[in-house]
Amino acid sequence: MNGTLSEEKRTFVELAPYTTFRIGGPADIFYIVTTEDQLYDIAEKHLDMSITVLGGGSNVLVSDSGVRGVVVKMNITGITYEDHGDTITVVAGAGETWDTFVENTITHGAFGLENLSGIPGTVGASPIQNIGAYGVEVKNTIAWVEVFDKKTLERKQLKADECEFGYRESIFKKPEGKSYVVTKVAFTLSKTFQPNVAYKDLNLFFGDVSPNSALEVRNAVLSVRARKMPNLSECGTAGSFFKNPIISEEKSLLLKEQYPDIPVFSDGTGLFKIPIAWILDNVLHLNGFREGNVSCFKSQPLVVCAHSGATAHEVDEFAKKIESQVYDATGIVLEREVQIIS
């Protein structure tokens, strides 16, 4: 493609400033990319090395020893809108900041993402994680995802059903999709605002009054999230550290016997979702629990906070202790949302 790199190759760049945990050692080689051509050039130049892509750094814990190989900071931006009658197709570069993008869609009269306001990270991370919050999953709005294969150096466009979306899951987290780098995402959004406020926190916020606009819903979500998330000026965090467990009906009934007040939600497939925050709060009483430089946030124990001086090793050990306590109390094996990279 003969692109021009956005900057010269940099070596031994500390990655802590590029993550919301503010933790992590150096990358052997580091680039910032703003175009797909630059990404192609980097991949072609380093075919014999591993390439790790960072978006907003909001769902990763970087090893204290850093990351071997090449790290690419994804800064491909740009947003376009295409009218299709009742719907609008919005295409965004993977490096767009997610929450700014959500605000932009509302401003342009494209609705459906307002419940996902306030989620940290980039547009490119949204299909990888199949982000979700307050009764909405991003998979239900994605039309297609454009990817660059860093092994074959090919571009592909994957339709939504090819992305193998599941709960905080996608093809991009599986072996067959590990070589894909998300460069653009297309969303099909509605021109008609339809409030989705059935989720408990939003239902309590609005009460009997239905919101009149997507902006009202966005502001409500931001208000609710502000009570549950620490300010990044106070501590580093990647938000929710663990996935909500998906369990069998038999297991859910056993937990109901053990803890009668535990909330249990059907996922529509015969399995049941347990809000792990309820267990951390009501069973283990971990709100505000702290060991060394790491703690559970006082208002939401699902959020792990890294205080000044914290290391990735400390965060990992802290998370392991929580996992052990949950298993001892419930028999549930927790899965992490946060990915460790090294």
- Point out the residues that are catalytic: 168, 240, 337
Give per-residue burial for 149-161: e unless 16+ CB within 10 Å, then b: ebeeeeeeebebe
Of 117, 134, 116, 336, nearest in space to 240 by CA: 336
What are the C-alpha distances in Å from 254 to residues 248, 250, 261, 282, 335? 10, 6, 12, 17, 20
What span, in angstroms and rounded, lies between the C-alpha atoms of 216 and 112? 13
Structure tokens at 166: 């599941």
Residue 213, helix vs strand vs coil: coil
> Which two three-digit tokens encode residue 83?
């009218």
Rounded-to-5 percentages of helix, strand, coil across the chain: 30, 30, 40
- Helix runs in the chain, H state only: 36-45, 98-107, 125-129, 200-206, 214-228, 249-258, 276-278, 312-330
Q: What is the number of other CB atoms lying within 10 angstroms of the CB of residue 169?
A: 17
DSSP 8-state assignment for residue 289: -
**Is 341:61 a contact under the CB 8 Å cutoff?**
yes
Other residues' Cβ atoms within 10 Å of the Cβ of residue 179: 16
Q: Distance between CA 31 and CA 195 in Å, rounded?
A: 41
Q: Strand pairing of 142-149 and 155-159?
A: antiparallel
| Residue 173 main-chain phi, psi, to 5 deg | -100, 0
